Structure 1
């Protein structure tokens, strides 16, 4: 396998993708922005892999990077994701949209144009009312309701209109059995707990996401959008996913249940849904970790610590339920975007 440039290489998905490509014999060139946290993360990459530090929002950095590396393929993972997107929508757009534009333009100037594998999101489809919407496909309507979805759709259009050979992978809810690596924060939990408990969500193991990107690099398929979610066991309800993970860790009955969604309001639902992954699985053969197997692995990883966490469950239950977004709020239905727009003005679509 030839040289593969991986952007956002030290992130949640990026580090797994670098490792997967390395295992498959590719010459991997990871790139990311130079920060103390990323310097630390770089030390955990496979031996012999050196990071190229670059700011992809700077044209000079991008041009120099691609000229020096001359990759046969680019896996573009660099992005600002929710809820960080909402906290600084201007910077987020610079990274999620303009950096994609600079990268595509620089790639088009190379004498040998690289294959471009782009990471997108189901957020481009907008709110998904399970009472009215069928299972999500690449052809489902595009109607982003937040700045992240709008930015990812704009980036998709840049890639699709380019002169490069491309594949776009739209990711579902990426999860990991290494709970320490999950990008969890108070803002992320607020977003999760405000989502309708009966909303559909399709999780996918981060290792399977990495397998999908690695397979996309060498695939003979191009010019397609592929949906990346786990197998049928990963088709869940929003209100069941978090409690299942907490239970696997030993935290029993601690997760706030949240509110159901309004069946008659298509706008008041989160952006996740069950996904038709038949085509993506056919092309990429990436689904290797079922949801039950992931939960079993979490139990094994936590080990004896589960006993301590179980003992702490009553305290955790009280603390978490005091932090639910709907505590003291009138109404019976969830209103995730009403809460999001109020908390983060930058959450509104660009």
Structure 2
């Protein structure tokens, strides 16, 4: 509601606005029009209100590495850099790229943080739903992804409010231990939860396709780390913390894991599907909705 945004921002007169609100994947695919109101329209409204303040605040915007588009690890060389061209492909990366363009075209002192795959040691904060599990299983198992601990993300945003990074785009991923494949992420997480081997193998991506991959890759976080000093939790730190929290499950987990593997295999998006390679966009389309982005005409 633009009027409510106007009242809130005018009444508080903030020195800094941190804009985090978003509808992310996979929740975005069934509701792209609703998501657009949050991801694009609300960003535009907030920017307009902030530009109208007597003292314009710094605007720290949560973007996503997905704006860089699908990344075939057989044809691309990591890491991604902040000045690499955007190539939005799915509806999420498309809407995030639109929001970024709004922020960067504004008269505000902006900072854009493009986030990697944010994970937390608190499972209650993660979207563990059947749709999320289906989505994860649909992604190419050998696709590259850089995870980051949610606590390090919070640190980065807090630091960006005062750091000398005005009008910079910074890539927010964990340290080099967070440079993983999707297979390594899922197997590492279920092992930390006391269920080693519970995840059946996924399908690799098509090495001859530039588009049939998900919109993530490893990132060059050198400048972001130099400016924000946010990388405090490694991938081993995160999985060790999870393992400690779920240490009691390990006693029965090894017995449950083979059963879980069979059940998850039966629910795989590729069960009885032809071919040998992952088809992430086709599988998302079949269950969740049209994933591809059609940029609105001006």
Name the TM-score, length of structure 1 as normaliser. Answer: 0.82
Instruction: Write the distance in 1 (CA, Å) between the matches of 2:288 and 2:248.
Output: 39
The question of 1:175 aligning with 2:119 is answered: yes
Instruction: Name the structure 2 match of 1:118.
Output: 61
Over aligned residue pairs, what C-alpha RMSD do you find?
A: 1.1
Instruction: Name the structure 1 match of 2:140.
Output: 196
Instruction: Name the structure 1 match of 2:194.
Output: 250
Does the CA contact (< 8 Å) of 2:194 and 2:247 recur in 1?
A: no
Residues 1-350 of structure 1: pairs in structure 2 closer than 5 A: 58-135=1-78, 136-350=80-294
Displacement after TM superposition at 1:144 (Å) = 1.4
What runs of 5+ residues in structure 2 fail to find an aligned partner?
Answer: none
Name the TM-score, length of structure 2 as normaliser. Answer: 0.96
Instruction: Write the distance in 2 (CA, Å) between the matches of 1:338 and 1:143.
Output: 19
For this pair of structures, how many residues does the alignment match? 293
Instruction: Tell me the alpha carbon deviations over residues 16-40 of structure 1, each in whole angstroms, 9 at most, x when there is no partner.
Output: xxxxxxxxxxxxxxxxxxxxxxxxx
Deviates more, 1:302-311 or 1:138-147: 302-311
Displacement after TM superposition at 1:194 (Å) = 1.0
Does the CA contact (< 8 Å) of 1:229 and 1:275 recur in 2?
A: yes
Does the CA contact (< 8 Å) of 2:284 and 2:290 recur in 1?
A: no
What runs of 5+ residues in structure 1 fail to find an aligned partner?
Answer: 1-57
Instruction: Write the distance in 1 (CA, Å) between the matches of 2:113 and 2:61.
Output: 6
Moved over 4 A (4+): none
**DSSP 3-state at the match of 1:213:** helix
